[in-house]
A and B are shown apart, each in its own frame.
Chain A
Amino acid sequence: MSGLLDGLFNGISIGAVLLLAALGLAIVFGLMGVINMAHGELIMLGAYTTFVVQNIFKPLGAPWSDFYIFFALVAAFIVAALVGVLLERTVVRYLYGRPLETLLATWGVSLILQQFIRSVSPQFVVGVGLFCALYFGAIAIISRRPDFERIRNWAIAIMVPISVAIALTASNVLGQSFKLGFTRPWFGTQGVDVTAPKWLRGGLAIGDSQLPYTRLFIIALTIVCLLGIYWFLNKTNWGLRIRSVTQNRTMSACLGIPTQKVDAITFAIGSGLAGIAGCAVALLGSVSSNTGQAYIVDTFMVVVIGGVGKLIGSIMAAGAIGILSYVIGSNAIGPLFDSMPFVKSIFEFFATASMAKVVVFALIVVFLQFRPAGLFPQKGRTVEA
C-alpha cells in the first residue's frame, strides 16, 4: 500500500514539475499557436533569477533569507515575462502564421539566451549597453531630421561600425584596468546551486516513506498557478479578450479588441509562467545554461499529448507522463513478476531515469498514432477553421 502511495506521490510530483513547465507553453503554443523553442530558456532565466534573488537576500539574514523564495517567484515571473514580451515584439510578431520560421527564429533566440547566461559579465554588460545607447541614441537623433528616410541606410552603415568600435574599445580598456573582477562571468558555464530555505528542507513522514517538502511546495505552486490561470482566462476582461482573439483574430479586431496588445499580454503571461517554473526547477537541482534544454522536449510532449489548446489536457498528460516515468523508472512493476524471471529482467532493464524516458517516448509515439490530436482534441464545427 505504501508502495502505491509512494509511486503516486512521486509520479504526481514529477508531473507537477512537467505541468508547471508546460503551463506557459500551453498558453503560448496551445492558445496562440506559436512554437516557442526559447520556452526552455525562459525557464532557465527564471531559475537564474531565483539564484540572484537568493544571493541578494542571504546577507540580510532571517527572516528575509527564509522567505526569499516568494520574492524570487515574483521576480522570476517579471523577468521572464519581460523577456517574453521583448521576444514577441521583436521576433515572433513578424512571424505569425509561419510556424517553421517561428521555430527557427525562436531556436536561434534560445541559443543566444544560453550563451548570454554563460558569458554575461560586467564587461559584457558595459559593452552591449554602450553599443545600444550609442546606436539607438544616434538613430533616434538622426530620425528627427526631415530627410531621415533618404539618409537612413547611410546612417545605419556609419553608426553600426562606430558604435561597435567604441563599445569594444571601452569594454576592453575597462577589462584591462580592472582585470578579472570586471571580466569574470557572473554565472559562467558551471551550474549554480539554489539552496531551499530552511522550512522547505526535510520532509513529511507518512508511514515508512517520506514526502520532501520541496516536492509538496512545487505541487502546491502548480495548483496555485493552475487556479490563477483558470481564473484569469475565464473571469477577467483580458482573459475574455485572449480567448476571443485566439479563436477568431479578424473578428475580434473588428469588434474593437486591440489584438496586438492582447498578443503581447498572452505571450507575457505564458513566459512569466515559464519563469515561475524556473523557480521550481531551481529548487530541485543545480541550474546551468543547459537547464532549459532538458525541459523543452518534455513540455512540448505534455502540450501535444494533452491536445493543443486544452488546459485540462495538459494537466492529464503531465500527470500521466509523470506517473508512467516514475513507475517504469523505479521498477515498481518488476517485483510483481517474480515467477517470470524473463519479464522481470525486462522491467529491471528499463528501471533507470533515462531508459524510462525511452519507454515513455516510445509509448507517446504509439499513442499519437491512434490519437494524433491528443487526449482532448478540439471538437465541433470550428475545428476545420
Chain B
Amino acid sequence: MSYTKSSAAVESSGAIADPMLDITNLNVYYGESHILRNVDFGVASGKMVCLIGRNGVGKTTMLKTIMGLLAPRTGSIQFRGESIVRKSPDQRARLGIGYVPQGREVIPRLTIKENLLLGLEALPGKGQKKEIPEEIFELFPVLKTMLSRMGGDLSGGQQQQLAIARALMGQPKLLVLDEPTEGIQPSIILEIEAAVKRIIKERGISVLLVEQHLHFVRQADWYYAMQKGGIVASGPTRELSQEIIQEFLAV
C-alpha cells in the first residue's frame, strides 16, 4: 500500500504524541459552498509538516482557518492544548502562530526595517527593545543591505524572505508557510529552504508548509495530501511515492 486512505490518516494524526496543532472534524464554507470537509489534521511539536494537493483543493483555506481569517462552521482547532476557534487573528499571532501568506503580503509603504519591527507585535509584553536580532540577518543576509527601502519595492524573492523573517521576529512556536517558493527563482528557493531547515533545527519550532515544489516537500517529516476539500492521504514523507507525487503535486 503506497498511501493510507482517509480513515487511516485520522488515526495517524490522532496518534501524534505531542501535538502543537490539532484539528478535528473541521468544516469551512465560503457562503454556501463547502470548502473543507471533515478535516482532521495535526502538527507535532518540532516537526515539519507539508500539505500537498492540486490547485483549488482548499490548502490556503485551511491555513486561513488556522490563522483565524475564516471561521469554521464546525470543528475544533487546538493550539498547544488550548482551543483557539473563537480567537481573533491577532490573538492567535500572539499565542505563537507565525503566518507567511501566499503572495507574501509585505506592507508596501513601510520600510524593510519597519516591516521587520512589525513582527515584534506578536511578542507578549510591552516596551521590548526595538531592534532586529543579528540571527535574522544571518538567515537572510540580503535584508541587511536594504533596511531603509520600501517593502513594496522589493523583488518577489526578497519579499518572500522578508515575510519569513518578519514572522520569525515574533518567535513563533508554529510557523505557517503558504507556498513560499511560488514564482521565485531556483537559487532563492534553495536559500529559503536552507533557512527554514535551519530555523527548525535551531529553535525546535513546528512548521506547517503548503508547497508544490517537490524538493522542498521532501524536507518535511510528514505529509498530508488534500483532494476536494478533504485529507485523502498522509504519512512520513520518506514514504512519499512517485504515484502520490503524480496525483497530488502539480508538476
Say yes or no: A244-B89 contact (C-beta < 8 A), given A254-B99, A256-B94, A382-B152.
no
Chain B residues with Cβ below 8 Å from A257 are 90, 118, 121
Complex CA gap A257/B118 in Å reads 8
Say yes or no: A247-B109 contact (C-beta < 8 A), given A254-B93, A256-B93, A258-B90.
yes
In chain A, positions 272-326 with a C-beta closer than 8 Å to chain B are none
Say yes or no: A252-B107 contact (C-beta < 8 A), given A240-B117, A258-B90.
yes
B89 to chain A, nearest CB (A): 4
B interface footprint on A231-255 (CB within 8 Å = 1, 0 otherwise): 0000001001101100110111111
- Inter-subunit contact A253/B89 (CB<8 Å): yes
In chain B, positions 82-105 with a C-beta closer than 8 Å to chain A are 88-90, 93-94, 99, 101, 105
- Inter-subunit contact B108/A241 (CB<8 Å): no
- Inter-subunit contact B107/A247 (CB<8 Å): yes
**A198 in the interface (beta carbon within 8 A):** no
A interface footprint on B151-169 (CB within 8 Å = 1, 0 otherwise): 0110000000000001000
A217 to chain B, nearest CB (A): 34
**B122 in the interface (beta carbon within 8 A):** yes
In chain B, positions 113-146 with a C-beta closer than 8 Å to chain A are 114, 117-119, 121-123, 130
- Inter-subunit contact B105/A248 (CB<8 Å): yes
Chain B residues with Cβ below 8 Å from A256 are 90, 93-94, 121-123, 170
Chain B residues with Cβ below 8 Å from A244 are 107, 110, 114, 118
B90 to chain A, nearest CB (A): 5
Which residue of the partner chain B has the closest CB to A257? B121
User: Contact check: which of A250, A255, A382 meets B170 at CB < 8 Å?
Assistant: A255
User: Contact check: which of A237, A251, A259, A381 meets B107 at CB < 8 Å?
Assistant: A251
User: Contact check: which of A250, A258, A381 meets B108 at CB < 8 Å?
Assistant: A381
Q: Is the interface of A mostly helix, strand, loop or mixed?
A: helix
Chain A residues with Cβ below 8 Å from B99 are 254-255
User: Contact check: which of A243, A247, A251, A381 meets B101 at CB < 8 Å?
Assistant: A251
**B69 in the interface (beta carbon within 8 A):** yes
**B52 in the interface (beta carbon within 8 A):** no
Chain B residues with Cβ below 8 Å from A258 are 90
- Inter-subunit contact A380/B152 (CB<8 Å): yes
- Inter-subunit contact A381/B170 (CB<8 Å): no
**B67 in the interface (beta carbon within 8 A):** yes
Complex CA gap A87/B81 in Å reads 39
- Inter-subunit contact B109/A382 (CB<8 Å): yes
Complex CA gap A194/B122 in Å reads 48
Which residue of the partner chain B has the closest CB to A247? B107
Which residue of the partner chain B has the closest CB to A240? B114
B162 to chain A, nearest CB (A): 12
Complex CA gap A244/B118 in Å reads 8
Of listed B67, B101, B105, B123, residue having the most chain A CB within 10 A: B105
Which residue of the partner chain A has the closest CB to B105? A251
- Inter-subunit contact B121/A248 (CB<8 Å): no
Chain B residues with Cβ below 8 Å from A237 are 130
Say yes or no: A250-B69 contact (C-beta < 8 A), given A243-B110, A256-B122.
yes
Which residue of the partner chain A has the closest CB to B167? A255
- Inter-subunit contact A255/B152 (CB<8 Å): no
Complex CA gap A368/B89 in Å reads 40
Complex CA gap A257/B91 in Å reads 9
Complex CA gap A237/B128 in Å reads 11
User: Contact check: which of B93, B105, B109, B152 meets A243 at CB < 8 Å?
Assistant: B109
Which residue of the partner chain A has the closest CB to B100? A254
Which residue of the partner chain B has the closest CB to A234? B114
Which residue of the partner chain A has the closest CB to B169? A255
Complex CA gap A240/B114 in Å reads 7
- Inter-subunit contact A255/B69 (CB<8 Å): no
Of listed B119, B121, B123, residue having the most chain A CB within 10 A: B121
- Inter-subunit contact A381/B69 (CB<8 Å): no
In chain B, positions 62-85 with a C-beta closer than 8 Å to chain A are 67-69
Complex CA gap A250/B101 in Å reads 10
Chain B residues with Cβ below 8 Å from A259 are 90
A142 to chain B, nearest CB (A): 24
- Inter-subunit contact A254/B108 (CB<8 Å): no
- Inter-subunit contact A247/B93 (CB<8 Å): no
Chain A residues with Cβ below 8 Å from B94 are 256
In chain A, positions 358-385 with a C-beta closer than 8 Å to chain B are 380-382
Complex CA gap A243/B108 in Å reads 10
B95 to chain A, nearest CB (A): 9
- Inter-subunit contact B69/A254 (CB<8 Å): yes
Say yes or no: A253-B90 contact (C-beta < 8 A), given A380-B152, A381-B152, A382-B152.
yes
Of listed A248, A256, A258, A259, residue having the most chain B CB within 10 A: A256
B213 to chain A, nearest CB (A): 23
Complex CA gap A299/B94 in Å reads 39
Complex CA gap A258/B89 in Å reads 9
Of listed A241, A244, A253, A255, residue having the most chain B CB within 10 A: A255
- Inter-subunit contact A380/B108 (CB<8 Å): yes
A interface footprint on B166-190 (CB within 8 Å = 1, 0 otherwise): 1000100000000000000000000
Which residue of the partner chain B has the closest CB to A385? B108
- Inter-subunit contact B110/A255 (CB<8 Å): no
12 additional contacts, CB 8 Å, given A255-B99, A255-B121? A240-B110, A243-B110, A247-B107, A247-B108, A250-B69, A251-B101, A253-B90, A254-B90, A254-B93, A254-B101, A255-B119, A256-B123
| A-B interface, 8 closest residue pairs, ranked by CB to CB distance from nearest | A256-B93, A256-B122, A253-B89, A251-B105, A382-B108, A256-B121, A254-B99, A256-B94
B interface residues with partner A (beta carbon < 8 Å): 67-69, 88-90, 93-94, 99, 101, 105, 107-110, 114, 117-119, 121-123, 130, 152-153, 166, 170
8 contacting pairs across A/B (C-beta < 8 A) = A243-B109, A244-B114, A250-B89, A251-B101, A254-B93, A254-B99, A256-B123, A382-B152
